[in-house]
Structure 1
Amino acid sequence: MQAPSSNILLTGVTGILGRHILYELLPLYVSHKKYKIIVVIRDTKTEDARQRLHSLLSSLYRPDYLNQFSLAELSDSIEIIPHDIIDLNEDDFNQLKKYAPVTVIHAAAVTNLSNTPQAYEELHHKNYTATLRFLEWVNPVLSKFIFIGTAFSIGHFEGIIHNNYQEFSTNTTAHQTLAGINRNPYEMLKSNVESKIITYCNHHHKKWQLLRPSIISGRLMDAPLYFSPKFNVFYEFGKFFYVYSNRMKTKSNSIRMVANHQGTLNIIPVDFVAKTITRVFCNDDIYELNIVSSHGVKLDYLLPHTASIVGFQCELVEQVPTNMNDLEAAYYRLYAPNLTPYIQTPCHQFNTAQLRTIMSDIPEIDVQEAFKDLLGYALQHGFRDLH
């Protein structure tokens, strides 16, 4: 276990990945009293920031490895800034200054795969503008800025995908060099903000790092297994079947889904992602890294098995059916606009040589082998958010 070498400012701590980064950092910071983890958490209508943090630390779903510490020990390692990142002000900065210099792990983001003007507006405000304002706000005390992006900011891409998506010219201005066609504003804005971060940090002589997970699943390493606070992205297929199993008028039990028969969906356990981030964030030789599985889950396995959890049958087809049953009509109206671009993506594979070298002591998990258990856990909880 490595000793901390700086204070950490962590955003997105109530999200799927952010809380797991916090869980991974805590054993380091509880054991070494010199440095703190500073978290940005906003109040909600039902809980203030301190109560929300307490809920995270005392959750029944927290990893078992935290049981060696008391709640007081965990809480003492953390300093709270009680605001949304878009609203951080001078008073918040004055609170932060006593911890300078700080390393930032920016994991706060909205995941919205819709391709609508409303989605673009939300994502531009909360993912793009908020990130750049936050970077400017923290700059005077910033040592290094680690941005948690997405491996899918590469877009609709065929072939081998390497870690380096960005390049920058002699004046330090960055732009994406390895690029497919973005499927939605979420991907496009994630890519655009990466370029802005590099350009800003280079101009201000700050260190930076871009870490990009693929689709995140529940835990597959740390007990209690399979936990995820939200069941989104690939879980949406299961949620659809679960919801409509009790809602269909004619009880149609089969569906034809447009998908690439040879395609895969790259899924990575959230605890593996968090362990990777806490291992590499202090390595200044790593600038860009995709945190992904060496092999994706095959779509001709994923989709039929997801349908089968509630007794449906799924057939992969090349074109949208014209004579739709009730189940198909519901799927293509409500879910397909967001999900089809990801199951129609060309065949591709991520180059994981550098990642596997970094994580060589941790055997790679076969997500496809664990897929039924992940789905079963979500089904057990009715695909509801967990806290």
Structure 2
Amino acid sequence: MSKNQLNVILTGGTGTLGSQIIFELLKQENIKTIFLSVRQKKGKSATSRIKTILESAAAPEFISKNKGTILNKIKVLDMDAFFKPENFLSKTESNFFIHSAGSVNLSTDISQKEIIYNGVFEFTKNVFDTFSSFITKFTYISTAFSIGNIGGLIGNDYHSEKIPKYRNFYEEYKHLTERFLLKKGKEKNIDIQILRPSVLGGNIFKKSTYFVSNYMVYYLLGKFFYKNPLNDNSIRIAANFKTGLNIIPVDYVAKVITSVFDKKIEQLNIVHSKSTNIVTGMSKIIKTVDFNNFTFLNSSSGGLLLEGKNRLESIYYNTIGLHLNQYLISDPYEYDTTLLESIVPIPKYNIEDYLEDTIRYAKARKFRGEKW
């Protein structure tokens, strides 16, 4: 490998964020090979899933124009091959690991505790232990919410500044995983980097504006009311009128990750400098999908104990509301984005219009994600 060239191992490449990370990594000439771990899915091989991403309408134009070169730069590995790094990595090369794999599960049901623990902590531990002797650096994609409901001004250091107040097992085990990696990194002399995006929204840059491959988190609220068969029912939604919804475009997040994965930055929140007021934001989401029979209750305890729920309210608070409720009533907070803005400035746009536009984009596609 020539001077300054490096390899990148990426997990989660078929995910909402991972696919955008692939696009950004392919722009970097100093990367020799991108190793992608991909599961077979519904009869599609690991390689065919990646080809579908590279040939999608969301892919940058330079990929289709340089398809042969691009394909030579990527090595797709199914899960069995992936966990045998001695077959494809050399300890004499600079190998950077970006661990972006993982699914979001905000459940507080005790029956989900072990599932979330295994999916978040144990899987990451297994990955790190397997690759630790082959890598120069390990970048972990965590979540800006792993500190929990602490409120106030939130900085990038989640391991010395404030005591976390977890809202669910997902936050707790994301934070546990961060602690594990920081400790093991020092023991094994491997650089560890923790990057924490907030809620992912659709693309903001000109190519495929508002595109996102999977409609999750705030999109699920829009999807719930879009498919609502009980339009004659009203609904009361409990929220802390002072809190906000922090959404960051997924393509911006990918740009930041690929700008810092080889830099000396240990912890960084990839968030917007401003949050949309929870009532204003949720109103835009719900109205954009043509549901208008709703009211908000200013509450710090939530709506799960509302008396006299109608059928729609019962369904909401037993499904999506069960998971979102804890965030809707969170303490007001904001993020210190000084370091982030010095690396990749946050694009300038109206955050309320963006929220509405991303929901309108999803609605036009009936909230159907990409089949990768």
Pick the TM interval, shorter chain.
Answer: over 0.9
- Equivalent pair of 1:11/1:40 in contact (CA under 8 Å): yes
Given the alignment of the two structures, is residue 160 of structure 1 paired with residue 153 of structure 2, yes or no? yes
Once the two structures are superposed, residues 322-359 of structure 1 have per-residue CA deviations (whole angstroms, 9 ceiling, x without a partner) of 22232212111212110001111100110111111112
Q: 1:82 — aligned with what?
A: 78
Corresponding residue to 1:100 among 93, 96, 121: 93
Once the two structures are superposed, residues 215-268 of structure 1 have per-residue CA deviations (whole angstroms, 9 ceiling, x without a partner) of 001111142111111111111110110111xx22xx325321010111101110
Mapped to 2, the partners of 1:291 and 1:97 lie a distance apart of 31
SS in 1 for 2:137: strand
Given the alignment of the two structures, is residue 305 of structure 1 paired with residue 305 of structure 2, yes or no? no
- Equivalent pair of 2:156/2:267 in contact (CA under 8 Å): yes
Q: 2:56 — aligned with what?
A: 59
Mapped to 1, the partners of 2:103 and 2:258 lie a distance apart of 22
Mapped to 1, the partners of 2:186 and 2:91 lie a distance apart of 25
Alignment length (residue pairs): 363
Deviation (angstroms), 1:95: 2.0
Deviation (angstroms), 1:182: 0.7
RMSD: 2.0
User: What is the TM-score with the length of structure 1 in the denominator?
Assistant: 0.89
Mapped to 2, the partners of 1:122 and 1:100 lie a distance apart of 36
Corresponding residue to 1:316 among 291, 296, 301: 296
Within 5 Å, which residues of 2 pair with 1:116-265? Answer: 116-167=109-160, 177-244=161-228, 247-248=229-230, 251-265=231-245
Mapped to 1, the partners of 2:333 and 2:220 lie a distance apart of 22
Once the two structures are superposed, residues 64-119 of structure 1 have per-residue CA deviations (whole angstroms, 9 ceiling, x without a partner) of 4544x3322221111122117xx8544x4322237833100110011111112342
Given the alignment of the two structures, is residue 42 of structure 1 paired with residue 39 of structure 2, yes or no? yes
Mapped to 2, the partners of 1:38 and 1:275 lie a distance apart of 19
Q: 2:363 — aligned with what?
A: 379
Mapped to 2, the partners of 1:6 and 1:181 lie a distance apart of 39
Q: 2:14 — aligned with what?
A: 14
Corresponding residue to 1:270 among 242, 250, 256: 250
Given the alignment of the two structures, is residue 72 of structure 1 paired with residue 68 of structure 2, yes or no? yes
SS in 2 for 1:141: coil
Aligned-partner residue type, residue 36 of structure 2: V
Corresponding residue to 1:332 among 313, 317, 322: 317
SS in 2 for 1:189: helix
Deviation (angstroms), 1:311: 2.7
Mapped to 2, the partners of 1:338 and 1:141 lie a distance apart of 39
Aligned-partner residue type, residue 354 of structure 1: L
Structure 2 residues without counterparts, runs of 5 or longer? none
Relative distance call for 1:75 and 1:106 in structure 2 (3 A) is same
Deviation (angstroms), 1:57: 0.6
SS in 2 for 1:166: coil
Deviation (angstroms), 1:271: 0.5
Once the two structures are superposed, residues 273-322 of structure 1 have per-residue CA deviations (whole angstroms, 9 ceiling, x without a partner) of 000111111111x1100000001111111111222122323321026332
- Equivalent pair of 1:64/1:224 in contact (CA under 8 Å): no
SS in 2 for 1:140: coil
Relative distance call for 1:99 and 1:8 in structure 2 (3 A) is farther
Structure 1 residues without counterparts, runs of 5 or longer? 168-176
Aligned-partner residue type, residue 292 of structure 2: F
Corresponding residue to 1:357 among 342, 353, 361: 342
SS in 1 for 2:127: helix
Mapped to 2, the partners of 1:49 and 1:8 lie a distance apart of 18
SS in 2 for 1:157: coil
Mapped to 2, the partners of 1:118 and 1:77 lie a distance apart of 43
Which range moves more in the overlay, 98-107 or 10-19? Answer: 98-107
Query: How many percent identity over aligned positions?
Result: 30
Mapped to 2, the partners of 1:109 and 1:243 lie a distance apart of 27
SS in 1 for 2:136: strand
